[in-house]
Structure 1
Amino acid sequence: MEPLNAFDDVKTFETDVIDIYESENSKYSKLADLSHMEQLDYMVNRLASMFTTSIAFKGGYMLNKLIPGSRMTFDIDFSIEEKKNYEVIKNELGRIAIEFEKAGIIADYKIKDSIAPTSSGGIDMYAASGEKILGVDVGLHNISYGVKHYNIKFTEVQAFEFERMLSDKIIAILSRKRFRRAKDLYDLYAITNYTSIDFKKLVEYIEIRGGAEWDHIPFSDDVIVQYRKAWEKLVLIDSTVANVALDKPEFDDVLFQFYRFIMPVKNKLDCTKWSPLERRWK
Structure 2
Amino acid sequence: MCTLQIINHHKLEILQKGHAGSLIVILTGMGCSFDEWHEVTNELSRTNQILMFHRLGLGRSELGDEVRNTYATVKDLFELLNSLKVKKPIYIVAHSYGGLCAQHFAKVHPERVAGMVLVDSTSVDLKDLDELDLPTINKETDETWINKCLEYASKDREQLTSIIQPFLLEKHKQFPASVQRRLLEFQTTPSLYEAMASEIKNWKKDASIIKRLKGFPNVPLVVIGRDKEYTIISETEVGIPKWESKKFEEKWEELIGQQATLSTKGELRFAKGSGHSIFLDRPDIVIDSIQKVIGE
Per the TM superposition, whether the score is higher than 0.5 is no
Highest Rg: 1 or 2?
A: 1
More helix by share: 2
Name the TM-score, length of structure 1 as normaliser: 0.28
